[in-house]
Amino acid sequence: MDFHIRQRTSVKALRCREIENFTMASENTPHVQAKFFTKQSQYSLPDTPYSVPASVGIPELSALVNQILKGKDRGDESEEAGIDFDFLLEGEFLRVPLDKHLESRGISTEDLVEIEFVERQPAPKPEDSLLHDDWVSCLQGCKECILSGCYDNTVRLWTTTGTPLLTIPGHTAPVKCVQWISSDEEPICRFISGSHDQTILIWEWHRAENSMECVHACRGHAGSVDCVAVNDNKDRFVSGSWDKMLKLWSAASVAEGDTEEQSEVPKKKQKVSKKVQTRVPILTLSGHTEGISAAEWLSRSEVCTASWDHTMRLWDMEKATQTSQMQGTKVFLDMSYSPLNGQIVTASADRHLRLWDPRVSDGAIVKCTYTSHTGWVSGVSWSPVNPNLFISGSYDAVMKLWDIRSPKAPLYNMSGHEEKILAVDWSIPSLLLSGAADNHLKIFQYKDTQLGR
């Protein structure tokens, strides 16, 4: 498979430097007094200042920490393991020589500097590439399975090892969004799919028979359904559409107002129910002036939406009102909310990713901007277990892994797609997923060394 990962320069070749290199520098070389600390207990160091050249970089600091660890009765473990470390000063990764970083932060080289170090995140490993019949427009993982929506009007169900389980017809136009309602480990698993055909379908997958049934057709939108989001209780979901409306729906198996209709679901490829119940929205909210591209639940009653009208809006679903608005500069194509840090990262048509704090009532809501993509940023997704990491996908056909503490550059670039990426997903901690206009869903394996997962 045509996978490539461009990694940052390895420091392993520099490990042979002796620690004396730090102390034998000429007397004219400025030095900095530095204390090293880490939250990873296996690498803890004595609370002792070390004198290091002010112009030291990441390779030299990593070699120094390894040498100190080697002297802590660790034998040759650090050298054999080839441990690469990253370094943070005041919450930001060191990406330039130490003196340049201190200068940019207004810190004197005469001050005692406290430097945090963490084991460097390893490069994600390409695992599989799943071929579809048309563009892969949306996807979501759940424990052992992956859902993908396709421009051939179908939803597909896969195992995380790449085995196809079902190809599911039902929509009459390209599928634009999918999301699990219940876990794929349950006997009957439920999920939803939204489409350019203006409908949302609720599905039940019977695991034992590996059969699929469409149980509800949610009707009410007058435009393409581009995003859906299920709440934590799994009893309600919202949808955003090209018709500019946000709608609230019941996700329950049975809901008041359900009516039965004769289904026109195609029989090709997979048998589905002959009768489907129609479901209408509980609530419709207007306010956006262009199509809604993304929606996320921030709490039990609060929803955030992003739109082509350059705004994000917060909604109180219990009071049925808009509570606030965040103004952007370009079209929002996607967003992702992390319950681990309470922040939102957005993907825009100006090639930038931005970090927002919706809790800020005054001052700068945009906390940071991340620039590296050369095309529209079409998808973004937070790590479900690490509050610092997220991935992004772009029309430049590259998926990137980011750390919010490294605003100047991504950790890794993951290429292999031949056409623009349309969606990314990080619902499964160990898998990074991307879907693209080359008809492929690509899977990358990932292990978070800082969390031991």
Instruction: Decide yes or no: CATH 1.25.40.10 for domain 125-445.
Output: no
Return the pLDDT at 18: 38
Q: If you ran DSSP here, which 8-state letter would residue 422 be given?
A: E
Q: How far apart are CA 24 and CA 97, in angstroms?
A: 19
pLDDT of 184 reads 75
> Which segments of the chain have a pLDDT < 70?
1-28, 72-82, 257, 261-274, 361-364, 452-453
Query: Does 125-445 match 4-119 at the fold level?
Result: no
Cβ–Cβ under 8 Å, residues 82 and 15: yes
CA distance 56 to 58: 7
Closest CA to 118 of 37, 7, 8: 37
The CATH number of 4-119 is 3.10.20.90
Quickly tell me which residue has 């219990």 as its tokens: 318
Kindly report, residue by residue over 139-162, the tens digit of the pLDDT.
Answer: 999 999 999 999 999 999 999 999
Contact 194, 225 (CB under 8 A): yes
Domain extents for the chain?
Answer: 4-119, 125-445
Q: Which tokens hold the place of 104? A: 């940019």
pLDDT value for 363: 58
Identify the three-state secondary structure at position 299: coil
- What's the sign of the alpha-carbon dihedral 257, 262, 264, 269? positive
Cβ atoms 196, 173 nearer than 8 A: yes
184 in Cβ contact with 166 (< 8 Å) = no
DSSP 105: T
pTM: 0.88
Q: What is the rounded distance in angstroms from the CA atom of residue 178 to the CA atom of residue 200? A: 9
Number of Cβ within a 10 Å radius of residue 421: 29
**Structure-token pair, residue 367:** 């906390």
